[in-house]
Amino acid sequence: MRIALGVEYDGGDFCGWQMQDGVRTVQGCVERALSKVADHEVRVICAGRTDTGVHGLGQVIHFDTEAERSMRSWVLGGNANLPRDISLLWAATVDEEFHARFSARSRRYRYVILNRWVRPGLQRGRVSWVHAPLDVESMRAATQYLIGEHDFSSYRALACQAKSPVRQVYSLKVDRAGEYVYLDVHANAFLHHMVRNIAGVLIAIGKGERSPEWAREVLELRDRTQGGMTAPPDGLYFIHVEYPERFMLPEQVRLPQF
């Protein structure tokens, strides 16, 4: 039996999603919890690996098991064995053709910026902080150059292991609500640090350090060393994965709002 699960987590105290020896990871905690429920070793596949400090609201995973449990038991049993900063949201049976990563049609991220002159207290680690005033209209003008299918070499980490730097960005939106600026990115897939590097370029433009056209210039260089800063992981949320309707998985998009 193949089981799909929805997962949310606060990434602040994890060294990212992927299992690593000697450090605390989301995958490691989830696999240990599900292994206790299944009464056998469980290995999970996720829709998208997140970095240290990045949060997940709409992560999707799958695993195979011969254990017979109700979907409610997978969720409640898993949560009973998970730390407080991870929660399983739902469970569903899927056919063997389902793959959390390769069956995904698209993914969505939200980057949250607290834009005020004093640093955050209660929201430390949950938002990125920019003290200089941001011009949202300039940031919006820059987004037009990044929408569509492009070679995003300048917007990926130097250590990115993806075979191709080409990605399709369906939408890139910038909105302000009081002291908060929200960057919403929807794409078929993402490169390592791609969202954080896009955020870094847009922040520089919003601060007036660069013109909106700089987003296009960086893209055309196809050279990460010529790009902008990598924005911090604080404030980055993996919010949604889209799958074909035939898998009948929950499609709710949950947005972090402050």
Point out the residues that are catalytic.
Answer: 51
Q: What are phi and psi of 188, to 5 degrees?
A: -65, -35
Helices 26-38 & 71-80 angle (0-180, nearest 10):
120
- Rounded distance, CA 128 to CA 183, Å? 11
The number of residues making up the chain comes to 258
CA distance 185 to 51: 17
φ, ψ for residue 198, nearest 5 deg: -60, -45
**Integer Cα distance of 94 and 103 in angstroms:** 12
* Assigned token pair, 38: 């299944």
